Amino acid sequence: MIEKIKTTIIALEKQALKSWNNGNPDGFLELSSDDVVYFDPVFEKKFVGKEALKAYYEGFRGKNKIDFYDMIEPIVQVMPECAVLMYDYVAHREGQSYRMHCTEVYKALSSGQWEITHTHWSFVLNNR
Amino acid sequence: MIEKIKTTIIALEKQALKSWNNGNPDGFLELSSDDVVYFDPVFEKKFVGKEALKAYYEGFRGKNKIDFYDMIEPIVQVMPECAVLMYDYVAHREGQSYRMHCTEVYKALSSGQWEITHTHWSFVLNNR
């Protein structure tokens, strides 16, 4: 059960990342809950709610083209009604690489689906 | 019930922050679970486990003196067996200010206590 949840969470995230890195934010938007709380490294304040996140993500549509990326050593903590996914991340674009950290809190719905209630993306400082 | 949990989580965090900003890491170490996963903005890789976190935090003992800090607009998502605390943060030290984001995942123990299973600290980029 726990292992199956871990596999499911990582697969959901990888699918959304694949779309995101091809310029399509819909994967993450569809996964995110209406009350999602989102930390972006270039904004001082949190984004609260899917509408706020959507307004921000729309600006990336068709633009975010990543040549290569990797989810590094993902760990999933299963509670089990929520699952916390944590991974190191690297993206390569136009000859530059970006090292990031990502936390995603997934909540189990009664339908058996999962939704993201919290996302925290940040840059690793000494690689900037 | 939900409101009481929110109040408890914020109080636990504020108490640990108070110690931390006076050079004492014990508050956060005592709250952290044995399998805590910790993201630090200057390390590319996660710290996994309390022993690894302790080894890192010991280097701050007696040194981390913050003149003024503030937990800004904390939000707590209650699942209810885990609670996710998210806040914007500012610290002032020697005339400089640092803007950060913090995510803390608290897990409810059968004893009624809470422990931190995940911490993610990051800097807001345009304020560096």
Is A86 in contact with B39 (Cβ distance < 8 A)?
Answer: yes
Report the residue of B33, B36, B46 to disrupt the A interface, i.e. the one with the largest count of A CBs within 10 Å: B46
Confidence of residue B90 (pLDDT cuts 50, 70, 90): very high
Chain A positions with Cβ closer than 8 Å to B: 35, 37, 39, 41-46, 48, 73, 75, 77, 79, 81-82, 84, 86, 88, 99, 101, 103, 105, 107, 117-118, 120, 122-128
Q: Using a CB-CB distance cutoff of 8 angstroms, which residues of chain A are in contact with residue B43?
A: 124
Query: Which contiguous run of DSSP H or E holds residue B100?
Result: strand B96-108
- Distance (Å) from the alpha carbon of B27 to chain A's nearest alpha carbon: 22
Distance from C-alpha of B61 to C-alpha of A29, rounded to nearest angstrom: 42
Distance from C-alpha of B85 to C-alpha of B92, rounded to nearest angstrom: 22
Is B44 in contact with A124 (Cβ distance < 8 A)?
Answer: yes
**Is pLDDT of B95 > 90?**
no
Count CB neighbours of B63 within 10 A: 7
pLDDT of residue B76: 98
Q: Where are the domains of chain B?
A: 2-127
- Picking from A39, A86, A120, the nearest residue to B46 by CB comes out as A86
pLDDT tens-digit map of A85-116: 999 999 998 888 999 999 999 999 999 999 99
CATH of segment(s) B2-127: 3.10.450.50
pLDDT tens-digit map of B8-20: 999 999 999 999 9
Count CB neighbours of A118 within 10 A: 27
Is B75 in contact with A41 (Cβ distance < 8 A)?
Answer: no
Nearest partner of A101 among A78, A85, A77, A79, judged by Cα:
A85
pLDDT tens-digit map of B18-52: 999 999 999 999 999 999 999 999 999 999 999 99
Burial class of residue A55 in the structure, from the number of CB atoms within 10 Å of its CB (0-12 exposed, 13-18 middle, 19+ buried) = exposed
- Distance (Å) from the alpha carbon of B54 to chain A's nearest alpha carbon: 20
- Distance (Å) from the alpha carbon of B45 to chain A's nearest alpha carbon: 6
- Record the pTM: 0.95
What are the C-alpha distances in Å from B7 to residues A33, B3, B45, B75, B83? 23, 6, 32, 11, 11
ipTM of the complex: 0.95
pLDDT, average across residues A26-54: 97
pLDDT, average across residues B83-103: 94
